Amino acid sequence: MKKILVAAMAVLMALPATGRSMRDLLASESGRVFATLPVATRLDMIDYFDAGRTPALETVTGGSATLTALEPAYARVELEGAGNIQLRMMAHGRDTVIAVVETVALPVADSRLTFYDTQWRPLETKRHIKPEPTLDRMIERGVSRAERDSVMRAVVFPVAEMTFEGDELLVTPRLAEFHAADEPVAALMRRVLRPLRYRISGTRLVSSFRPS
């Protein structure tokens, strides 16, 4: 069985960039992204999904994971109690880039965004999202300098959740929840921080607008 899986991986990785489907990419990732989901488990997920079923399958750490979305350019795997992993293909001509959002659920939702080519080689983040979603960009326009400085001083970890919605990426700050034990700080975060939205343009995510 192991030899069959290795052979299948080799075939998938050998496909040209223009021939890769989301199914190929989900199955061929070597473990940098899906560290707790072996190839065999991911292949089972795809088979179940194609059959109209989305069961929770066991991970190598004893947890469970469910493939909840599998579209031509998008896939999402929910890790029970731990977060989720999203894959989004971004293409321009013969070039294809995979945007990966990894979200951990505790203590509040916090995401990391990385980019890969279709052979799952890491790409430089700043080449594929402009501008990067930094804390200062999440501060609402018109906020006083004093409040801006208060936010920057209070934040140790710029916690934000990222979610793909069609051809856009929504970046939602979760700092109010992170600082829930300190109500004055949490209230400040709720008042001055706003989400960011990016749209897919070729193989890049570009700033779109801030939803009200």
d(CA 147, CA 126): 28
Identify the pLDDT of residue 10.
44
d(CA 45, CA 25): 13
d(CA 8, CA 27): 9
Structure confidence by residue, pLDDT tens digits, 117-174: 999 999 999 999 999 999 999 999 999 999 999 999 999 889 999 999 999 999 999 9
Residue 12 has pLDDT above 70, yes or no: no
Question: Sorting pLDDT into bands at 50, 70 and 90, what band is 209?
Answer: low
Residue 116 has pLDDT above 90, yes or no: yes
**Two structure tokens written together for 135:** 């804390």
One-letter amino acid identity for 12?
Answer: L
Question: Sorting pLDDT into bands at 50, 70 and 90, what band is 11?
Answer: very low
One-letter amino acid identity for 163?
Answer: T
d(CA 192, CA 83): 26
d(CA 51, CA 31): 25
Residue 16 has pLDDT above 50, yes or no: no
Residues 6+ apart with CB under 8 A from 93: none
d(CA 204, CA 9): 27
The answer to whether the CB of 56 falls within 8 A of the CB of 64 is yes
Identify the pLDDT of residue 3.
46
Identify the pLDDT of residue 194.
96
Question: Sorting pLDDT into bands at 50, 70 and 90, what band is 19?
Answer: low
Tell me what the pLDDT averaged over the chain comes to: 90
Question: Sorting pLDDT into bands at 50, 70 and 90, what band is 210?
Answer: low
Mean pLDDT of 100-124: 96
d(CA 49, CA 42): 10
